[in-house]
Amino acid sequence: MQVWMNGSFRDLDEASIPVTDRGFLLGDGFFETMRAHEGKIAWLEAHMGRLDHHAELIEFPLDLLPETEEVAEIVAKLFEQIHRKDAVVRMTVSRGPGERGLLPPGSPDPTILITAEPFDPLDPNIGLTLATSQKVRRNPHSVAGSIKSTNYMDNIAAKQEVQKYGAQDALILSADGHVAETTVANLFGIIGETLWTPHEDTGILCGLARDYVLQVAEESEIEVSFEPKAPEELKEFDAVFTANALQGLRVVDRIDGYVVGVPAKTFFTDLALRVEAELCDGIVI
């Protein structure tokens, strides 16, 4: 298995980082996870735009990131070792080596890694079980929470916690106790003909799949609500589902032990199929 690191393709066991790498020592870096189908990435330009946004927030020089066209070529090459139609691609950017202390070097020498691994898409109608994390809350003022930081400890802790409750993922609340998101996805609900999702000010990391679902809702003239919701209010919904750019949409069938909705009676399935088509057949590089 090969990876791409700092300008060249390398065997996995030959790829290494300096012991002074700030991404390793301090979590001083960011990443983006992308879905590749038959060697091409859906929403690649948008993914690269997110990486630019992450870089700007931590004052990382944008000119050190690879260009979109180069990433497309790298992914196509890495995909040759994937013997399936789909792969999960991750680009990880560390600020690179530095001296001891918090302040980064003035002229960073970053570590940039791109990997591709086989990915099997899940049936969106296979229910996901969530449990509310009692440990972790989203912070709308956190820089680390505003990007896909290489310090993922909040999400790790939340997932470890709810695994003990028998759940597959954590429902994470905002600082004031309203529903925010899961560890890896944005959250939506359907009640009647209205689509609901938490507002950006809950401290969520807005993903590309969320953007696309909201775009579809606008084009289809579906009413959208951003009203704050407590966890127990999710019982009122006809359907609850998650959205991210790797897995697409996935229905939630249990939260904190109670059954959620009847998705088959809503527009969820049509929406899930549309997102999946966009992640595959609708790819534009």
> Tell me, what amino acid is at 40?
K
Residue 231, in any domain of the structure: yes
| 125-143 pLDDT per residue, tens | 888 999 999 999 999 999 9
Query: Do 148 and 31 fall into the same domain?
Result: no
The first and second tokens of residue 280, run together, are: 């595959």
Euclidean distance between CA atoms 68 and 54, whole angstroms? 16
* Continuous segment of H or E residues that includes residue 1: none
Name the pTM for this structure: 0.92
Given 60, 87, 118, the domain boundary residue is 118
Mean pLDDT of 180-194: 95
90 belongs to a structural domain: yes
- Residues 143 and 96 occupy one common structural domain: no
Q: What end-to-end distance do the CA atoms of the chain give, in Å?
A: 25
Q: Rounded CA gap, 80 and 97, in Å?
A: 31
Q: Residue 64 maps to which CATH number?
A: 3.30.470.10
The domain of 40 spans: 2-118
For residues 138 and 258, state if they share a domain: yes
Domain boundary residue among 90, 118, 146?
Answer: 118
- Give the pLDDT band of residue 76 (cuts 50, 70, 90): very high
Q: In this structure, are 162 and 223 located in the same domain?
A: yes
201 and 167, same structural domain? yes
Same domain, 61 and 178: no
Which tokens in the block code for residue 164? 């003990």
Domain membership of residue 123 (yes or no) is no
CB 245 within 8 A of CB 275: no
One domain for residues 132 and 111:
no
Note whether 99 and 147 are same-domain residues: no
Each residue's pLDDT tens digit, 46-71: 999 999 999 999 999 999 999 999 99
Q: What are the tens digits of pLDDT across the range 189-241?
A: 999 999 999 999 999 999 999 999 999 999 999 999 999 999 999 999 999 99
Q: What is the DSSP string of 239-264?
A: EEEEEETTTEEEEEEEETTEE---GG
* 3-class secondary-structure state, position 181: strand
pLDDT value at residue 58? 96
Query: Residue 17 burial (CB < 10 Å; 0-12/13-18/19+)?
Result: middle
Confidence of residue 282 (pLDDT cuts 50, 70, 90): very low
User: Same domain, yes or no, for 94 and 184?
Assistant: no
Residue 252 is part of a domain; what is its CATH number?
A: 3.20.10.10
The SS3 assignment for 18 reads coil
* Same-domain pairing of 152 and 76: no
Same domain? For 134 and 112 the reply is no
Which strand ranges, in their side-by-side order, compose the sheet holding 8-11? 8-11, 2-5, 111-118, 86-94, 29-37, 40-41
Residue 264 CA to residue 190 CA, distance in Å, equals 11
The pLDDT tens digits of the residues spanning 154-169 come to 999 999 999 999 999 9
Task: Please check the confidence at residue 267 and state whether its pLDDT lies above 90.
Answer: no
Rg from Cα positions in the chain: 19
Do residues 64 and 148 share a domain?
no
In a domain, 284, yes or no: no
Amino acid 11: pLDDT: 95
Q: 85 lies in a domain?
A: yes
Domains identified in the chain, total number: 2
